[in-house]
Structure 1
């Protein structure tokens, strides 16, 4: 497996973990947890969706998702959010946290940006998106 497909698989896996964790917490019978679960599901579907197609609104408002460092901090944030729960969701949060730390570290490895998937190449997108 080449490195580009590996990073895409990690992104899809993390998105799947978000969706799975969101559905687990959705039925926790607490309004706050259910609301948070909906946000986690939306973020998971967005992460998965970025691997398929990149809409202009994502380029304008979610530009942090197009670099290793930005995506790493996002994954680390979401991982700590999931890690705060108990049980299986905590384990899934730990996995996402590890992926986030690895992505933050990958930002500083020389030449690794060349293997980033299309959804993480910030230099392929125009930073001056005017129309959304």
Structure 2
């Protein structure tokens, strides 16, 4: 078992998703000045809003369609992609992008630490916690 509280992952996801959402919303003002940056902001909104939403409620079919949200390595790669999509603008946006990048690399490193257990919202509904756990099937 790990000594890392699940609240740390929850607060990291909420903070990272909120910063990415706010940065993407500010980047939508580039509609006329830089249209490709505007399109990247739309994609970033589509990736960052579920990060925050998943900390409060897990939709039943999301694991089937976007399973990368349910692992440390997938969430880390999502944070890195968000940092690349949102790296346009001033110093504050670059700082937010750097924070997202560092958070993504941290999540990828955490994937390979065996003593850290994934949070409850990373598991799809109906799955067991242990790999070899015997489930009693009633027919």
- Does TM, scored on the shorter chain, surpass 0.5? yes
Question: Which structure dedicates a bigger proportion of its chain to helix?
Answer: 1
Contact 2:60/2:125 (CA < 8 Å) preserved in 1?
no
Shift of 1:125: 4.0
Contact 2:82 2:97 in 1 (8 A): yes
Structure 1 residues 69-109: Cα deviation after superposition (integer angstroms, max 9, x where no partner): 111111112212223x2322111111000000000000111
Quick check: which has more Rg, 1 or 2?
2
C-alpha distance in 1 between matches for 2:107 and 2:23: 21
Correspondences of 1:30-109 after superposition (within 5 Å): 30-83=34-87, 85-87=88-90, 88-109=92-113
Which residue in the other structure is 2:11 paired with? 9
**Relative to 1, partners in 2 of residues 1:117 and 1:63: Cα closer, same or farther, differing over 3 Å?**
same
Q: Which residue of 1 aligns with 2:131?
A: none
Aligned to 2:119: 117
d(CA) in 1 for partners of 2:126 and 2:83? 28
TM-score in terms of structure 2 length = 0.77
Q: What is the aligned length? A: 122
Contact 2:83/2:101 (<8 A) preserved: yes
TM-score (ref. length: structure 1): 0.81
Give the unaligned 5+ runs of structure 2. Answer: 129-139
* Cα distance in structure 1, aligned partners of 2:102 and 2:125: 26
| Superposition misfits of 4+ residues, deviation over 6 angstroms | none
* 1:20 aligned residue (14, 19, 22): 22
Which shifted more, 85-94 or 10-19?
A: 85-94
